[in-house]
Structure 1
């Protein structure tokens, strides 16, 4: 049986300036309380899933949005009446068995999202989040991190939750491609729709034209300002592309597919990026 949320609270466990985990305390029906510890990668996965659901709010009609806001405010008011206290010793003597190793979105519909939390103890706990609780949950977690004077972490997390990197690529002599790949579970890939190949054309220190690229999956439509913003943020998120941060570059984007269920092999992605580079070379000539 899944834990349902009556109230929430959050704190941060850190060592010096290093973030260790977000402490998320949940009050369930019959005053039962659970305290989970979410390391950065698990917190990112949770935010990716929550951001996906929040993105649907913008698509509501004016009347639907008004009804949503009224229902959300009522739900938040009830949660404010059931905030569980977090004691200092609960953070100082954190139960390692309640550390969340992995998080999986099991199911979601118009009303709720159900997550499976794989704990350090080996146990698995299901947590159901009502759609009307999502905004407050995000606010509470972000507020806790900000209160811990770790605003840089908030900025970093918020910059990487609206896309998934699949491959980062450098073009080498002779037409060879050298790449890093990223593996994501199916539940996470299914939250995104558009496969995009993104090519960066830039000049190196000697003035020679170079190319790097990436393949991502995102909900943002090609040709939008959102994709333009993602193309910039990718440079900070990718170890391979980070060298381009601050360097002027031409950015070219090609849609591979807008079928969310379609998948692409590494060879198909490399071929798409290679073709994009060839087209850029021809256009320049």
Structure 2
């Protein structure tokens, strides 16, 4: 039977300055309590699922948003009245079998998100999160991480929620592409509409013009302020793009498709990035 949330509590397990896991204790609707442990990757996946619903709610009309916020406040009050206690021993002697090895969003229709959790011992369970509970859950997690002195971890995780990296590319002079690919599960890809090619034009230490880039999925198309912000944050995420942090460069972005049901192949993604490079070079010559 799926786990429904009545109240939550969070805590951080760390060794010296290293984050090990976030403890998430849930008081269920029948007052039974369940304890789970989330790694940084598990936290990121959880936040991606939650953030997708928060983004949808940000698009509501003013009157709808006011109604939603009032309902959230009522749900928050109930959750704060049912916070389960986390014992010190539950953190010091954490049961590895309660560690979440994988988290999948299996249903985001209606007012609940349904997550499938696979635990370290192979057990699976379903967790229902009502959309009115999302703010309390996210704030509790971030508060626990910040309280543990790991604000940087919280910032790193939350900076990766509005885009999905697929390919990172270095463009070679012979028109070849040297690239890394990121395997993203279908449930994550389903949360993002737009394939974007992002190209960076820069000069290397010898003064020669070079290009590198990325193919990502986002919720907003090229030209938006959100995508401009993503193009900057990509530099911190990608090993291939880190060389551009703090360096002057031109950025070119093209929307490849905004059809959520259409899945582009690796060849289509890399070819689009190559074409964007060719066009940017033509524009530079004609300028």
Q: TM-score range by the shorter chain?
A: over 0.9
Structure 1 stretches of 4+ with a deviation exceeding 4 A read none
When normalised by structure 2's length, the TM-score is: 0.98
TM-score using structure 1 length: 0.99
How many residues end up aligned between the 2 structures? 285
Supply the distance in 1 between the matched residues of 2:160 and 2:67 (Cα, whole angstroms).
30
* Per-residue CA distance 1:132-151 (angstroms, 9 max, x = gap): 00010000000000000000
State the Cα deviation string for residues 218-251 of structure 1 (Å, max 9, x = none).
0023201110000000000011111111111000
Q: For residues 185-226 of structure 1, what are the alpha-carbon distances to aligned partners after superposition, in whole Å with 9 as ceiling and x for unaligned?
A: 101000001000000000000110000010000002320111
Q: Where in structure 1 are there 5+ consecutive unaligned residues?
A: none
Partner of 2:251: 251
The structural deviation recorded for 1:82 is 0.4
Match of 1:231 in 2: 231
1:137 matched to which residue of 2?
Answer: 137
Equivalent-residue separation in structure 2 for 1:29 and 1:222 (angstroms): 44
How far did 1:22 drift? 0.6
2:239 and 2:38 mapped to 1: Cα distance? 24
Higher mean alpha-carbon deviation, 192-201 vs 106-115, is at: 106-115
- Does structure 1 retain, via aligned residues, the 8 Å contact 2:221–2:255? no
- Structure 2 regions of 5+ residues with no counterpart? none
Instruction: Give matches, 1:149-164, under 5 Å.
Output: 149-164=149-164
**CA-atom RMSD in angstroms:** 0.7
Comparing 87-96 with 62-71, greater Cα deviation is found at 62-71
Deviations 1:68-123 (A, max 9, x none): 11111111111111000111110000000000000000101231101000000100
Q: Is 2:50 the counterpart of 1:55?
A: no
